[in-house]
Amino acid sequence: MDHQLKITLENAGRRFNRDWIFKGLDYTFEPGNSYAVLGPNGSGKSTLLQLLNGSLSPSTGKVNFYQNDALIDADDVFKHISLAAPYLELIEDFSLTEVIDFHFKFKPFIAGMDRPRLIELLGMQTSKNKLVKYFSSGMKQRLKLALAFCSDTAILMLDEPTSNLDTQGVDWYLQLVQNYAVNRLIIVGSNQEQEYSFCSNHLLITDYK
């Protein structure tokens, strides 16, 4: 896949009713770089991520998506983005195998990955026919992360990636970053250092209130 996707914000703002969540945001997310969107709970990190993945539009200003410097439509952006977030629902009535097969109808696997390898990466060989609704919250979170990291997309967006993970799960997540996040544009919404310790750029959302 072509991994040259850039996102620019021009004087972007988003309000909810009369309250501005953030405004006056000028920023460029360059391909192949890692960014942490930081701020306390409820400060608008998830809202900004939704603007950056095309699922929300700004109340003011612009969000532009470029592939090799050519502008692409916000509606086409989802093909280029993998997202793992607490508010992203898995299909509870699917088995693990069915969830994986369904997900990869929409996105290609990264090179060298397939369903058996993904299940092995998760360490869930004994659960492959188990319905997702019987998974623990930690298993569900691992599954969301594995689906995002193992999709061949230019952008990897992670909102609170270690929520519901124990220390072993956090180590596993950092291993995913090391193995599957190279040369991708990574954006992490977080307020816990363990989640974004590898990010070289920090955007503090409270600077744009």
Task: Indicate if the pLDDT at residue 2 is higher than 60.
Answer: no
Q: Write down the residue that tokens 């909810």 correspond to.
A: 16
Q: Which residues contact 67 (CB under 8 A, 6 or more apart)?
A: 2, 4, 5, 6, 80, 154
What's the confidence (pLDDT) of residue 69? 85
| The dihedral sign for the CA sequence 9, 69, 180, 102 | positive
What's the confidence (pLDDT) of residue 1? 52
Q: State the Cα–Cα distance between residues 117 and 73, nearest whole angstrom.
A: 33
What's the confidence (pLDDT) of residue 195? 96
Task: Indicate if the pLDDT at residue 201 is higher than 60.
Answer: yes
Q: What is the mean pLDDT of residues 10-33?
A: 96
Task: Indicate if the pLDDT at residue 156 is higher than 80.
Answer: yes
- Please tell me what DSSP assigns to residue 107: S
pLDDT band per the 50, 70, 90 thresholds, residue 3: low
Q: Please answer whether residues 25 and 208 qualify as being in contact, where contact means their C-beta atoms are separated by less than 8 angstroms.
A: yes
Mean pLDDT over all residues of the chain?
95
What's the confidence (pLDDT) of residue 4? 83
Task: Indicate if the pLDDT at residue 110 is higher than 80.
Answer: yes
Domains and CATH numbers, the chain: 5-208 (3.40.50.300)
Give percent of the chain with pLDDT exceeding 90. Answer: 90
Q: Which carries the bigger pLDDT value, residue 47 or residue 4?
A: 47
Task: Indicate if the pLDDT at residue 35 is higher than 80.
Answer: yes
For residue range 47-75, list pLDDT tens digits in order. Answer: 999 999 999 999 999 999 999 889 998 88
